[in-house]
Amino acid sequence: MRVRIFETDEHVARALALRMASLLAAQPAVVLGLPTGRTPIPLYRALVRLHRAGRADFSRATTFNLDEFVGLAHDDPRGYHGFMRRHLFDQVNLDARRIHLLNGAAADLAKECIRYERAIEKAGGIDLQILGLGLNGHIGFNEPARALVATTHRTRLRQATRRANAALFGHRLRNVPAEGLSMGMATILRAKRIVLLATGASKARSVARMVDGSVTPRLPASFLQLHRDAEVWIDRAAAVAISGPHRGARRR
């Protein structure tokens, strides 16, 4: 796992947006795995800027989002679909037919998960998976547990995760769905390349456990240590607790 440390969250966002723009230029039909949350917002803003400047063409790209809430209509603005439309999809030239999200309102959620796995396979797999990091070390909605689930699945959300998502629901915890659908650990680890983004002091502890600690289902992000091309892009605030060999990671 390679760690890259940048000065601020804006630096992280700009550098990753540039990397994604070059990937789109070199491989226009690239398949991207995308996260939601506060962390990727500056990245999406930077991608929209590059697109407007004619430097990022999404016309042939395919996207798969990591996760979605259970029970919200597909067009509910509080869901991750609504989030993605606001921050990226409505502002770049992605083809709607190549945008994929889990449908948390599907009549048969088990079938919906199988459909998603197949759609990823049919697209040829994910070339670049971008991830955020939950405060508790989750990725997607793969919460810390005694055992993790390999493929796309339905899952109960931890209170901490519901709290972290409350802003989308008018800061009312009771309105945050109790369950989600999420790519599983194998779905994520099958991506050819992975970049996990983490910014801000609140993530420092989970970042340190992820890069220095043991591989454990108690911190799902630690499984990225097993991937042959996983990078962790963080700002200085998120890097303060790192103590192992990654301490000397190149600063930008």
Of the ranges 46-54, 109-117, 159-167, 215-223, which one interacts with ligand GLP (CB under 6 A)?
A: 159-167
Query: 60 in helix, strand or coil?
Result: coil
197 vs 250 by CB, closer to ligand GLP: 197
Query: 160 in helix, strand or coil?
Result: helix
Amino acid sitting at position 205: R
String marking each residue 193-232 x if it binds ligand GLP according to CB under 6 A: ----------------------------------------
31 vs 134 by CB, closer to ligand GLP: 134
At closest approach, how far in Å is the CB of 85 from ligand GLP? 17
| Cα–chain center distance at 155 | 17
Q: Is 143 a catalytic residue?
A: yes
Residue holding tokens 């609504």? Answer: 82
Residues 118-147 that bind ligand GLP (CB under 6 A): 132-134, 140-141
- Helices marked H in 53-195: 80-87, 109-122, 159-164, 185-189
Q: Which residues contact 9 (CB under 8 A, 6 or more apart)?
A: 39, 42, 199, 200, 235
Q: Is 136 a catalytic residue?
A: yes
Q: Is 75 a catalytic residue?
A: no
Query: 54 in helix, strand or coil?
Result: coil
Q: According to the binding rule CB under 6 A, does residue 164 interact with ligand GLP?
A: yes
Amino acid sitting at position 47: L
Per annotation, catalytic residue among 112, 117, 127, 143: 143
Please give the structure tokens belonging to residue 227.
């991937």
Q: According to the binding rule CB under 6 A, does residue 79 interact with ligand GLP?
A: no
CA distance 111 to 145: 24
5 vs 42 by CB, closer to ligand GLP: 42
Per annotation, catalytic residue among 9, 51, 65, 67: 67
Decide if 231 contacts 2 (C-beta within 8 A): yes
Half-sphere exposure of 5 (CA within 13 A, CB side): 18
Please give the structure tokens belonging to residue 143.
């919460």
Choose which of 63, 129, 161, 206 interacts with ligand GLP (CB under 6 A): 161
At closest approach, how far in Å is the CB of 188 from ligand GLP? 10
Residues 9-48 that bind ligand GLP (CB under 6 A): 35-39
35 vs 82 by CB, closer to ligand GLP: 35
Q: According to the binding rule CB under 6 A, does residue 67 interact with ligand GLP?
A: yes
37 vs 144 by CB, closer to ligand GLP: 37
Rounded to 10 degrees, the C-alpha dihedral 232/128/152/96 comes to 130
Q: Is 138 a catalytic residue?
A: yes
Q: Which residues of this protein are in contact with ligand GLP, per CB under 6 A?
A: 35-39, 66-67, 132-134, 140-141, 161, 164-165
- Which residues have a catalytic role annotated? 67, 136, 138, 143
